[in-house]
Amino acid sequence: MADTSVLRPDLSLVLERITDGFFALDGEWNIAYMNAEARKLLHAVDDCLGQSWLTAFPKARGTLFEREYGRAMRDQQPVQFVEYSKTANAWFEVKAYPSPDGLSVYFRDVSSRIEAQREIERNARRQQALIDFGRGALGGVSLHQLFLDAMDLLREVLEAPIVEIHEYDRESERFTVRYVSGWPPYAMLKTVEPLLAHVAYVVRTGEPFVCPDVRIDSRARSLAQLAKTDVLSCLTVPIGTPLEPIGAISIYFPHTRTYSVGDVRFMQSVAQTVAESVNAFESNRRMAQVLESIRDAFVAVDRNLVITYVNSQMARYFDVKPEDVVGKPIEQYMKMFDVTGMALRSFKEALAHERPVTYDQELNGRWYETRLYPFSNGVAAYTRDVTRRRTEEQRILELNEQLERRVQERTKQLEVANKELESFSYSVSHDLRAPLRAIDGFSQALSEDYGASLDERGQNYLQRVRKAAQRMADLIDALLRLAKVARATITMSRVDVTAAALTVIGELRAAEPERQVETVVAPGMWAVGEPHLVEVVLQNLIGNAWKFTRHTAAPRIEVGRNGEGEFYVRDNGAGFDMAYVNKLFGAFQRLHSTDDYEGTGIGLATVARIVHRHGGSIRAEGALERGASFYFTLPSAKE
Contact between 363 and 343 (Cβ < 8 Å): no
Report d(CA 484, CA 212) in Å as an integer. 104
**Average pLDDT over every residue of 300-304:** 88
Q: Look at residues 565, 579, 580, 581 and name the one whose alpha carbon lies nearest to residue 617.
A: 565
pTM of the model: 0.46
Q: How many residues does the chain have?
A: 639
The interaxial angle of helices 111-138 and 143-157, nearest 10 deg, is: 170
Q: What is the pLDDT of residues 462-471, one digit of tens each?
A: 777 776 666 5
Q: Look at residues 379, 331, 382 and name the one whose alpha carbon lies nearest to residue 355.
A: 379
Report d(CA 32, CA 211) in Å as an integer. 47
Q: Is the pLDDT assigned to residue 206 strictly greater than 70?
A: yes
Beta carbons within 8 Å of 259's beta carbon, 6+ residues apart: 210, 212, 233, 235
| C-alpha angle 14-17-18 in degrees, rounded to nearest 5 | 90
* Range 577-586, long-range pairs (CB < 8 A, 24+ positions): 577/622, 577/623, 577/624, 578/621, 578/622, 578/623, 581/620, 581/621, 581/622, 584/620, 585/618
Q: What is the pLDDT of residues 370-402, one digit of tens each?
A: 889 888 888 888 888 888 888 888 889 888 988
Report d(CA 331, CA 232) in Å as an integer. 60
Q: Look at residues 539, 537, 629, 515 and name the one whose alpha carbon lies nearest to residue 575.
A: 629
Report d(CA 86, CA 435) in Å as an integer. 143
Contact between 613 and 539 (Cβ < 8 Å): no
Report d(CA 607, CA 485) in Å as an integer. 9
**Average pLDDT over every residue of 125-130:** 81
Beta carbons within 8 Å of 21's beta carbon, 6+ residues apart: 35, 37, 38, 40, 41, 42, 92, 106, 107, 108, 109
pLDDT of residue 2: 40
Q: What is the pLDDT of residues 242-265, one digit of tens each?
A: 888 999 999 999 888 988 888 899
Residue 188 backbone dihedrals phi, psi, to 5 degrees: 55, 45
Q: Is the pLDDT assigned to residue 50 strictly greater than 80?
A: yes
pLDDT of residue 170: 86
Report d(CA 378, CA 300) in Å as an integer. 7
Report d(CA 161, CA 329) in Å as an integer. 44
Report d(CA 490, CA 251) in Å as an integer. 89
pLDDT of residue 81: 95
Q: What is the 3-state secondary structure (H, E, C) of 307-330?
A: EEEECHHHHHHHCCCHHHHCCCEC
Q: What is the pLDDT of residues 267-300, one digit of tens each?
A: 999 999 988 888 888 877 787 777 777 778 888 8
Helices (H) and strands (E) in the chain, counts: 18, 22
